Amino acid sequence: MYIRPLQTDDLAACVVLNNDAIPAVSEADAAKMQSLIAESLLSLVAEHDGEIVGFCVNFGPGAEYHSPNYLWFVERYHEFAYLDRIVVSPTARNMGIGAALYEAVEAHIVGTPWLLCEVNLRPRNDGSLRFHARLGFVAVGQQETPYGVLVSMLAKDLRANSAGAAEPALGALATNDIDADLIDADHIS
């Protein structure tokens, strides 16, 4: 497996992967995907045997991006990388590709205190909730989107990792419904 920056030639494959992953991610045509990548802080692809099997798109503060989930984080965090979407081909799942993409993101954003993302609670994405818990993300809120999806807002404190401190507690990311009693407010800056 090889992780590298996403290039223009990768757009068609990324659009197919993206749209095959709906509703875990929002739909994107080639023009929207090009716009996302142009505005992104970092966009990466994962290749396996010469085929693109995964990708991710990340934004930083100040992006001209109007996703309600991105804007939720902008209101609460000042320094961050927001992982807007990560997709791994169903044929390449359980090969460590998602974890490798996250590891590559963290390597590129050294010095950034927070890695942020959201995971669907309705429709429910239990696999993603478990995956993010293993990576050290904690729930810091919930949001009902204008398009009817309930999401759990997740944060990973990268300062703890760089200082050699223990990972944040994972209890807030149980796979049953997350409510206000489970939100770790100490992770909001």
Phi, psi of 175 (to 5 degrees): -80, -5
How far does CA 98 lie from the centroid of its chain?
10
Look at residue 161 in the predicted model and tell me its pLDDT.
61
Give the residue from 71, 68, 2, 13 showing the smallest Cα distance to 37.
13
Residues comprising the chain, all counted = 189
Q: What is the pLDDT along the chain (189 residues), one digit of tens a residue?
A: 999 999 999 999 999 999 999 888 889 999 999 999 999 999 999 999 999 999 999 999 999 999 999 999 999 999 999 999 999 999 998 899 999 999 999 999 999 999 999 999 998 999 899 999 999 999 999 999 998 999 999 999 999 765 544 333 333 333 333 333 333 333 333
* Burial bucket for residue 110 (CB in 10 Å: 0-12, 13-18, 19+): exposed
Give the closest residue to 172 by CA, choosing from 112, 129, 124.
129
Q: What is the pTM of this model?
A: 0.83
27-66 pLDDT per residue, tens = 999 999 999 999 999 999 999 999 999 999 999 999 999 9
Domain ranges of the chain: 2-187
E-state strands within 8-63: 42-48, 51-59
Query: Can you tell me which residue has the tokens 């904690």?
Result: 138
| 42-48, strands of its sheet edge to edge | 2-5, 42-48, 51-59, 81-88, 114-122, 150-157, 138-144
Tell me yes or no: is domain 2-187 CATH 3.40.630.30: yes
